[in-house]
């Protein structure tokens, strides 16, 4: 049995804006991070990665509901 993908009403850009609005107060600056965004059955996965993996620091990861725009889960890696 396969899960049915819901048609998103939240666009990729809206998901990024939601994640960024939540991450900026915590991280203050996202310039040193690259962004990976993909749509899965559970919503938009917005994951920031370090540009220079050897540098110290964390990165946020979000799952955002593709219909409501609600943050379903978030993790702050330090």
Confidence of residue 3 (pLDDT cuts 50, 70, 90): low
Burial classification of residue 63, based on how many CB atoms lie within 10 Å of its CB (0-12 exposed, 13-18 middle, 19 or more buried): buried
Reported as type and span, the H/E element at residue 64 is: strand 59-64
What is the CATH topology of the domain spanning 12-77? Nuclear Transport Factor 2; Chain: A, (3.10.450)
Q: What is the pLDDT of residues 36-71, one digit of tens each?
A: 999 999 999 999 988 766 555 568 999 999 999 999
Neighbouring C-beta atoms of residue 23, cutoff 10 Å: 21
With a cut of 70, say whether residue 33 has pLDDT above it.
yes
Any idea where the domains of the chain sit in the sequence?
12-77
Closest CA to 19 of 48, 41, 56, 42: 48
Q: What is the pLDDT of residues 18-30, one digit of tens each?
A: 999 999 998 888 8
Across the strands, what pairs with 75?
A: 61
- The answer to pTM > 0.85 is no
- Residue 16 corresponds to which tokens in the numbers above? 């990024």
């Amino acid at each position: 049995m396969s899960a049915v993908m819901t048609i998103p009403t939240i666009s990729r850009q809206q998901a990024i804006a939601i994640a960024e609005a939540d991450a900026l107060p915590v991280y203050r600056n996202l310039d040193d991070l690259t962004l990976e965004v993909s749509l899965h059955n559970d919503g938009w996965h917005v994951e920031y990665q370090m540009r220079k993996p050897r540098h110290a620091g964390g990165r946020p990861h979000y799952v955002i509901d593709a219909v409501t725009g609600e943050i379903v889960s978030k993790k702050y890696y330090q």
